[in-house]
Amino acid sequence: MTDLIVIFRTRSDVEASVVRGLLEAHGVPSVVASQPPPSVFPMVVNTLGEIQISVHSNDADLARRTIDDHRTEAGGSRVVRLRDEFESLQRAIGYRFRDRGLLEHAMTHTSKANEDASGGVRDNESLEFLGDAVLGFVIADLLFTEFPDFDEGRKSKTKAALVSTATLARQAERLHLGDHLLLGRGEEKTGGRHKQALLADGYEALIAAIYLDGGIEHARAFLSREFGGLLADVHKDGVAGEDYKSALQEWLQSRDASLPEYRLVGTLGPDHRKLFQVEVAARGEALAQATGSSKKEAEQEAARLALVRLRT
């Protein structure tokens, strides 16, 4: 192909795949080339370079019109322009990305990457790892600053509650993060947008993306906003959030019902990141199931879900 003209640039490999598919659907052949990001440092933190899509000069006008006019489905039903796909999420988190490809990378579940035959779509597992570290550091720093009278054991217990899978999943739900996850067809069909583990992982990946895009101060500002209410609970009650197991027990006892029973129904994931699945029941009736990184955490979340069901 000669006389090529670059008609689209992005740092998002997912967006590049979508745009190339649009062009092909409209009979416009294209060529994709990647440019590595410039860096004066020996180690590149953000490895997402610019992706360029080129077409023959005779097809350039049609290609540009196709990209400008096309609307695509996101999340199965919602119709948005490509450039606006994550606009509502950026408003919800109070941060606007300079490199939107990082945000898209953070929202890409492994099931989506596995369905991409080209191998050009990367999942967010490495960002989850980094986000977990950033989250742990910032929360520890906030606890050290705001609760100087807490001993090491109390700080550790509070930190564990704040960074638990159940807490992160609830934080993700507040942001409607599940609506923005990029999932494979199988995960979509099995309700992946509402799974605790996927929401918590996506939340950690989002933290890493903010850190890589804007630095530690922007990540700290985001987490300070997000966890401000939970930290206020610690100031007020001495604990991070409600003790849902005690609350469920009190709710049942006030109605002369039997005490809740918790049962481990299974485990998920590899040994180094095992999740425990717990069911809570009363009067022989199953009330709710939940997962957590420990049985105690899963029991707390199951109790919370049971209370939501019983109170409605």
Active site includes 204?
Answer: yes
Supply the DSSP string of 16-77, one letter for each residue: HHHHHHHHHHTT---EEEEEPPP-SSSS-S----EEEEEEEGGGHHHHHHHHHH--EEETTT
pLDDT of 35 over the 80 cut = no
Reported as a single tens digit per residue, the pLDDT across 207-255 is 999 999 999 999 999 999 999 999 998 887 666 666 788 889 888 988 8
CATH 3.30.70.790 positions along the chain are 4-70
Q: Which helix (H) or strand (E) holds 307?
A: helix 295-311
pLDDT tens per residue across span 63-110: 888 777 654 443 443 434 444 578 899 999 999 999 888 999 999 999
Q: Is the pLDDT of residue 14 over 70?
A: no
Q: Given this structure, which CATH class describes domain 244-311?
A: alpha beta
- Note the CATH architecture for domain 4-70: 2-Layer Sandwich (3.30)
- Residue from 208, 280, 269 nearest 244 by CA: 280
Which pTM does this prediction carry?
A: 0.61
- Choose the most confident range, by mean pLDDT, from 52-56, 202-206, 254-258, 281-285: 202-206
State what percent of residues in the chain have pLDDT above 90: 42
The more confidently predicted of residues 35 and 9 is 9
Structure confidence at residue 134 (pLDDT): 97
Phi then psi dihedrals of residue 281, to 5 deg: -135, 155
C-alpha distances in Å from residue 153, one per residue of 20, 39, 119, 156, 158: 54, 43, 45, 5, 9
| Mean pLDDT lowest among 125-134, 161-170, 226-235, 239-248 | 239-248
Confirm if 260 and 239 have CB atoms less than 8 A apart: no
| Plot region of 176 (φ>0 → left; ψ -120 to 50 → alpha; else → beta) | left
Show the DSSP H helices in 36-184 as ranges: 60-69, 87-93, 100-106, 110-114, 125-146, 152-162, 165-174
pLDDT at 236: 78
Q: Where in the chain is the domain with CATH 3.30.160.20?
A: 244-311
36 vs 295: which has the higher pLDDT: 295
Residues near 137 by beta carbon (within 8 Å), at least 6 away in sequence: none
pLDDT of 271 reads 79
Kindly report, as residue ranges, where domains of CATH 1.10.1520.10 are found in the chain: 125-237
Predicted pLDDT at 78: 42
Q: Per-residue pLDDT for 286 more than 90?
A: yes
Residue 132 a catalytic site member = yes
CATH architecture entry for 125-237: Orthogonal Bundle (1.10)
Q: How high is the pLDDT of residue 74?
A: 38
Residue from 132, 201, 213, 297 carrying the catalytic annotation: 132
The pLDDT value recorded for residue 202 is 97
Q: Which of 204, 213, 226, 297 is catalytic?
A: 204
- What pLDDT score was predicted for residue 33? 83
pLDDT value of residue 82: 46
Q: How confident is the model at residue 109, as a pLDDT?
A: 94
- Lowest mean pLDDT, pick from 11-15, 141-145, 158-162, 271-275: 11-15
